[in-house]
Structure 1
Amino acid sequence: MTDSGQETFIAHLIELRDRLLRAVAAVLVVFVCLMPWAGQIYDLLALPMMQSLPQGTRMIATGVVTPFFVPVKVTLMVAFVCALPVVLYQTWAFIAPGLYAHEKRLAIPLVLATTVLFLLGMAFCYFFVFKMVFGFINEFAPKSITPAPDIEQYLSFVMTLFLAFGLTFEVPVAVVLLAKFGIVNQAKLKEARPYVIVGAFVIAAVVTPPDVISQFMLAVPMCLLYELGIICARFVARPTPEEAVEPGSEVTRS
């Protein structure tokens, strides 16, 4: 590596470090500002479960420091979501100089769509899925027991579902990217529809609790979002060689 190349590499590393520090600083600033309300933030996260429990029942903490660390983890997660625009901007500012003009035009809508869809997936999970899943579980539970969920296990459970539904809502982005880069066309996407439906229910059975309601509430949106991706792919897909050469456009050799 030449001296100029080494200097350029070091400059990129320094810029990457600065961008990471700014992103982390943004998350920490929001986190510190939210810490006085860590307990209320956790209560808000636990609200779907508390509404489904019998009157007067509360969640429990089996660890000594669990009542402190679990709300802190939830607050840190909320701080990251609140600071996400700054994190994405720092990421964009680092990679933008190395992109071509057409790649920059694609990157901005892609980042925005990815962020919005992931947050929509989390919101769908919180407002609709949790209510139905927790209600079903507590209705199914024997009347001889008193449910008392552990807050650490509850956090692990909801984080798993948040991640599952957030990634599920990214299906249209994945389909559009596959079409944009010519990996698949609309015909292949439509042909794969039966396999996608089966795969959606298999994935839902693996990542969701063992109840039919939550599995359907993950698999059905995944299938619908795949259809949305097919519709969007129509506007960005590369034409196939057969489509690119229109009938009558070939030049006859003399």
Structure 2
Amino acid sequence: MALDQYKEEEEEDGMSFLDHLEQLRWHLLRSISAILVFMVLAFLSKSFIFGVVILGPSKVDFITYQTLCRISEALSLPALCIQELPFIIQSRQMTGQFSMHITSSLVVGLIAAFPYVFWEVWRFIAPGLYDKERNAARGAVFFVSLLFFMGAAFGYYILAPLSINFLSNYQLDPSIANEFDITSYISTLSMLVLASAVMFQLPVVIYFLSRAGLVTSGMLKTYRRHAIVGILVLSALITPPDVISQLLIAMPILVLYEIGIFIAKRLERQKREDEEELRKKYND
């Protein structure tokens, strides 16, 4: 019944339900095509994408480790300088290296094409919004993409290398050597980068929920302690089992949560000002 009503409403607007499905199909095809293009480019750039980008955090000359060494020299804290990563990466399956080449290329393609993919999603959603809603969400593609890349950069340059350093140096007994499979290494790196990129979308989520009236700044403040516990639990689920990695991803998310409270406050103040302006016009 609801589906029939939806079809009738869409037909009154000049576009049928099937037309919307056709439009969605083309948006999806263009998005997938963009991902595939970047995936192919990454696949062909094996020496750089795999040798430099993917394996970068596994080498002591990685920029994060070098920066920590410079900080350790300036602060006279030699413990900060990472001079050795005592592990090797190997492939135990015949198709391991080829399958991981494809997987890593897909992840790189997804990250590189994200702004275009989100733009295609936004193009499909935007026509169904009111003019006021579209104006309120102006710049959504830019800010969502910016936060996505900031999160991916945080995961790649901060979270991943420190997690890899911790896990590579962790030993139950000196007789046990750390020999990581290429599948495990790439899966862990991809999970950390993508999870950070998604988690950095928290201010955007709070913005739209606040615009919809589903959350308020007061509600966010009231449940701040619950949010802290939830963030810590979520951080434990998406990071390797070490406290350092969990805290590293939890701290920026807590900062983003506070930014979300500030955004909700501004929206509430703007809403009050708009209501006051409308009240004055009505009284005049």
TM-score, with structure 1 as normaliser: 0.83
Deviations 1:101-121 (A, max 9, x none): 122123343333222212211
Q: 1:49 and 2:58 equivalent?
A: yes
Aligned to 1:223: 254
User: How do 1:43-82 and structure 2 match up within 5 A?
Assistant: 43=51, 44-51=53-60, 53-54=85-86, 58-82=88-112
Give the secondary structure class of the aligned counterpart of 2:17: helix
Give the C-alpha shift of residue 216 in structure 1. 0.9
Residues paired across the two proteins, number: 244
1:2-61 per-residue CA deviation (whole Å, 9 max, x = no partner) reads 99949722222222222222222222222223322135312322221233523xx53111
Match of 1:171 among 185, 202, 205: 202
1:188-210 CA deviation, whole Å, 9 max, x = no partner? 22121122122222222233222
2 CA distance for matches of 1:188 and 1:13? 38
Q: For residues 130-145 of structure 1, what are the structure 2 equivalents within 5 Å?
A: 130-141=160-171, 142-145=173-176
Q: Specify which of 232, 235, 241 is matched with residue 266 of structure 2.
A: 235
Rounded to whole Å, the distance in 2 between the matches of 1:30 and 1:66 is 22
Separation in 1, partners of 2:241, 2:43: 35
Match of 1:9 in 2: 17
Distance 1:212 1:198 in 2: 14
The one of 156, 171, 174 aligned to 2:187: 156
Asked whether 1:24 is paired with 2:32, we answer yes
Q: What RMSD, in angstroms, separates the aligned Cα atoms of the two structures?
A: 2.9
* TM-score, normalising length: structure 2: 0.75
CA distance in 1, matches of 2:113, 2:163: 30
Tell me, yes or no, if structure 1 residue 101 matches structure 2 residue 109.
Answer: no
TM-superposed CA distance for 1:184, in Å, is 2.5
CA contact (8 A) 1:171 1:222 kept: yes
Question: Quick one: distance in 1 between partners of 2:241 and 2:132?
Answer: 45
2:182 corresponds to which letter in structure 1? I
User: Residue 46 of structure 2 is aligned with which of 16, 32, 38?
Assistant: 38
Residues 203/39 of structure 1: CA separation in 2 closer, same or farther (3 Å cut): same
Q: Does 1:129 find its partner at 2:166?
A: no
Cα deviation for residue 239 of structure 1 reads 7.6
Does 11-20 or 126-135 show the bigger shift? 11-20
Kept in 1, the 8 Å contact 2:107–2:190? The answer is no
Q: How big is each residue's C-alpha offset from its partner over 1:195-229, in whole Å with a ceiling of 9 and x where there is no partner?
A: 21222222222332221101111221121111111
- Once the two structures are superposed, residues 111-140 of structure 1 have per-residue CA deviations (whole angstroms, 9 ceiling, x without a partner) of 332222122112111111122222222333
2:230 aligned with 1:199, yes or no? yes
Q: From the superposition, tell whether residues 108 and 80 of structure 1 become closer, same or farther in structure 2 (CA, over 3 Å).
A: farther
Q: CA deviation at 1:152?
A: 0.6
